[in-house]
Amino acid sequence: MSLPSSNPLGYVGIKETDVPQIYKVPRAPLATDYANYDLGDLWIDTVTNKMYALVKKLAGTASWVGAAGTGALETLTGNAGGAVGIDAAENINLTGLANSGITTNGIPGTNTLNISMVSPFAGDFVFSNATAATPRTLSVTNTDNTSVASNAFFQATSGGAAGGDPFINFLVTGAGTYSIGIDNSDSDKFKITTGASPSAGTDLFTMTTAGVITLANDLDVTEGGTGVGTFTAYSVICGGTTATGDLQNVVGVGTSGQVLTSNGAAALPTWQDNTSMAYVEATGATQAMAVQTAYGANRGAGVAFSLPATAAAGTVMKITGILGLWSLTQAAGQQVHVGAFSTTAGAGGSLTATNLGDCITLRCIVANTTFRVEDMMGNPAIV
């Protein structure tokens, strides 16, 4: 049938005079069904009772669109549910489910459909599994191995100084719990605790923002610690025993001039008076004395010795005459006892050798002030 070639109604474009053809074939059309068909031709598959329309011919390929019965010519399908066709307005609507975080935005001018997703979780997000031997894993992976900026990390963030704690909690139901994170209420210290948060339970590990670390228990020697929380200031530390622990203090810190002396394999050393003597040959006009020291007076014009200002009770000093006549002077508050005799107390008192070979041994009997001659050769003058 042919239509009038005139255009009395003023149609836009060219009015086609050929009527689309209908083909009945016992199969579906193929992309190669191209050469003898025109746009708009209809194809009926007599096996499936499905009709197709030729909607595009391009580069030797035919595009046939079909539908069964009166259904929509175009549908979308998902991995669940049925096929979705056009609605009364000839649209197929794509929307995000409520609370899924998925939004869609159609842009008619460019025939573009934008799909975006944001986190739908305003509260708790829980992975749950009750199947035996079936783990649940939450991981963040960055597989790039070409840049140091290709990080993979978890981040927990709280609202600010007046907010809560950012942390991770580990829980064995009915058994125990540990938390690791920042205690916002305690000067932002990094903690491991036995509570449900870093601000609860017992602090097992605490580190300040300056890096100062505190442990709930003393670190054992085998882990690099001392096993002891505190030591006496300035004391000596020794190996311990099963009873005392890995390390232990020597009792006290001793007094000036004392030495640490062994008491055998089964006991701690102790501070004891130094009974050994150093030797100094004095050749100058004056010589300040020190405890546990022996002096040789070796100067033709004599050597003037002075008692030490600091001397522990029990310490010893010696003077041996070699050359010249020595003398021994005192400071305020000091005095020397020689048998039944004593020097004048204070700076006015003294002992002076009367012969070249005069010798004396003195022992401090009252710290810093009082001395006794316990051995003497010759007859020094006592003032």
Q: What pLDDT score was predicted for residue 359?
A: 96
Give the whole-angstrom CA distance, residue 107 versus residue 298. 113
Q: What pLDDT score was predicted for residue 205?
A: 93
Q: What pLDDT score was predicted for residue 136?
A: 78
**Range with lowest mean pLDDT among 35-49, 283-297, 314-328, 356-370:** 35-49
Specify the higher pLDDT residue, 20 or 220: 20
- In contact, 182 and 171? CB cutoff 8 Å: no
What per-residue string of b and e applies to 20-32 under the rule 16 or more CB within 10 Å gives b? eeeeeeeeebeee
pLDDT digits (tens, 9 = 90+) for 214-252: 888 876 666 666 666 677 788 888 877 777 777 777 888
Give the whole-angstrom CA distance, residue 263 versus residue 110. 97
Q: What pLDDT score was predicted for residue 227?
A: 65
Q: What pLDDT score was predicted for residue 72?
A: 46
pTM: 0.42
Instruction: Give one DSSP letter per residue of 65-122, joined into a string.
Output: EEEETTS-SSEE--SSS--EE--TTS-----PPTTS-EEEEEEGGGTEEEEEE----S
Per-residue confidence band for 291, with pLDDT thresholds at 50, 70 and 90 = very high
CA angle 333, 337, 338 (to 5 degrees): 155
Q: Provide mean pLDDT across the span 314-338.
A: 95
Assign 189 to helix, strand or coil: strand
Per-residue confidence band for 287, with pLDDT thresholds at 50, 70 and 90 = very high
- In contact, 213 and 207? CB cutoff 8 Å: yes
Q: What pLDDT score was predicted for residue 9?
A: 58
pLDDT of residue 29 exceeding 70:
yes
- In contact, 124 and 114? CB cutoff 8 Å: no
pLDDT digits (tens, 9 = 90+) for 156-210: 999 999 999 999 999 999 999 999 999 999 999 999 999 999 999 999 999 999 9
Highest mean pLDDT among 86-100, 214-228, 355-369: 355-369
pLDDT of residue 1 exceeding 60:
no
pLDDT of residue 50 exceeding 70:
yes
Q: What pLDDT score was predicted for residue 71?
A: 46
Q: What pLDDT score was predicted for residue 365?
A: 96
Mean pLDDT of the chain: 85
Q: What is the percentage of the chain residues whose pLDDT exceeds 90?
A: 49
pLDDT of residue 309 exceeding 90:
yes
